[in-house]
Chain A
Amino acid sequence: NAGVMQNPRHLVRRRGQEARLRCSPMKGHSHVYWYRQLPEEGLKFMVYLQKENIIDESGMPKERFSAEFPKEGPSILRIQQVVRGDSAAYFCASSPLAGVDTQYFGPGTRLTVL
């Protein structure tokens, strides 16, 4: 049973470009969470999605950031017009349908904005 997968593992973008980060949850998991970790800091919640629904986006900046989890395919976190302050590690986590608390984390995507 493959774990949570994220790609790319490393992404370099210039200011003003778009970044697309992908997350494939563990098989059988329908809850996906995105967290951001700035250098030398803890993880901050961004958004929580279930298939085709955004459940909680209270941690996501209102502008330039969006997320989706389509019926088919991975969850995608999209950052438009990236700025240097977006440089961070972005982790996604997944959990099963219901009744289980544990969130399993992917390896992360390290975004560097030049």
Chain B
Amino acid sequence: GENVEQHPSTLSVQEGDSAVIKCTYSDSASNYFPWYKQELGKRPQLIIDIRSNVGEKKDQRIAVTLNKTAKHFSLHITETQPEDSAVYFCAARKSSGDKLTFGTGTRLAVRP
């Protein structure tokens, strides 16, 4: 089955700096890669996703890049703000309707 590894497990940045979280996946058939943000005690919320026919996608301060050859994808947050502090999860999926396999999460702390 699919295996998703995520690094780092914790990340602390100064407000205004950038944060990068990296994930690798094992199954080359995976073609959909979402990122979720989870605040303490809350539901995971989709913040951005990318499909395998695209190499990069950007939404304001958030961007995701995908390298299909190397089987890794990354989340980039620029100009971080304290409200970006949360746990971020990457995930991978093979086809529409299939299950998501999640990474182990990155706890991001943005220092004011």
Contact = CB atoms under 8 A, between A and B. Distances in A.
Chain A partners chain B: yes
Interface of A: 31, 33, 35, 41-45, 48, 55-56, 58-59, 91, 93, 95, 98-108
Given A33-B99, A107-B43, A102 B89 contact: no
A102 B49 contact: yes
A105 B91 CA distance: 14
B69 interface: no
15 contacts: A33-B99, A35-B100, A43-B44, A43-B89, A43-B102, A44-B102, A48-B97, A55-B97, A98-B96, A98-B97, A99-B96, A101-B32, A101-B49, A105-B45, A106-B43
Given A42-B89, A43-B89, A101-B93, A59 B99 contact: yes
A41 B102 CA distance: 10
Interface in B28-50: 32, 34, 36, 42-46, 49
